[in-house]
Amino acid sequence: MIRSKHESLLGVTESFFRSYLQHTRGASAHTVRAYRDTLKLFFLFLADQKRKTVADLAVDDIQSDAVLAFLDHVESRRGNSAVTRNCRLAAIRSFVQHLLRQDVTRAGQYGRILAIRNKKAIRRAAIYLEPEEARAVIGAVDRKSRHGERDHALLLFLYNTGARASETAQVKIVDLNLDSASVKITGKGGKQRSCPLWPVTVSELAALIGESDSSRPVFLNRRGAPITRFGIHTVVERNALKALARSPSLAMKRVSPHSIRHTSATHLLRAGVEINTIRGWLGHVSLETTNIYAEVDFETKAKALAQCDVPDVEKVPRRWRDQPALMDFLRTL
């Protein structure tokens, strides 16, 4: 239980990050940073509103009206989207749930914060490449250049596995099982999944790693150090730009490692792979996240429609407003 007035916001914040997020929940470093940034912004805003220093803030200062004011601030003053607002709220909710577990005497105070709803946001359709566009990007690599072999293997790996840029950067040679044509990928929260590899991907990776130490990362940068997710973005964007001559339609799309991830999922769906298998392939926790690919892929919808019988126009029931008996009934109410 949190006993003293200032007891502390510091203490409970430390336990939230160290005991709960990192150990109990096993959150990824990315999640920890995102929650850290949200609470830093919130505490600074709260201190300004209360006209006190952050060190003087107390748990009693964390009220629903303050949270609502902060959410309005991130939209109106910081220019954040509704999606970002909802992400900030999710971080604060998680923190407040931790407060509630530590101190049930303030259940009412915390409950009002937890009752704050997300703001409805427009969900943009996932950007993905058509097969010929994906081939154009991968084929744009100059394989005669010094680093062409790595770039080609990297793009093949991204398309084959649907791995995130951060996951790809972390893959080590020991994670590869080229004999069984598979790779072990470590995703968010340290969760691991196994992904099959095409023969061409196996061949490219085998040539890339040679007899290197199994403890080193598969993909290195130009200086021989582990490639970063920003470096992977650069490789993708550079070759997407080169592919424009071969596939002009790419000019209408923002090609990134994540759009290649969307491409992998969409092409798996078109190939008839069951949606729950795709969820495991991509490392999604929730099937709801994977369902966006079922929504955006028009080709799959068109194929499904083609398998349906065209309704007989003569058998279409009358519209409700053409049914006098129904209208008469409604007038009696």
Catalytic residue numbers read: 164, 188, 258, 261, 284, 293
Question: Would you say 196 and 286 are in contact if contact means Cβ atoms under 8 Å apart?
Answer: no
Task: Cite the beta strand spans of 113-190 per DSSP E.
Answer: 176-177, 182-186
The contacts of residue 12 (CB under 8 Å, 6+ apart) are 2, 59, 98, 99, 102
Q: Which residues of 31-67 are buried (b: 16+ CB within 10 A; e: fewer)?
A: beebbeebbebbbebbbeeeeeeeeebebebbebebb
Residue 143 CA neighbour count, 13 Å, CB half: 13
Collect all residues with Cβ–Cβ distance below 8 Å to 139 and sequence separation of at least 6: 243, 246
Query: For residue 267, which amino acid is it?
Result: H
Q: Within 13 Å of residue 321, how many CA atoms lie on the same side as its CB? A: 0
* Cα(131)–Cα(263) distance, integer angstroms: 8
**Beta carbons of 293 and 262 less than 8 angstroms apart:** yes
Could you tell me which residues come within 8 angstroms of residue 130 by beta carbon, excluding any fewer than 6 positions away? 249
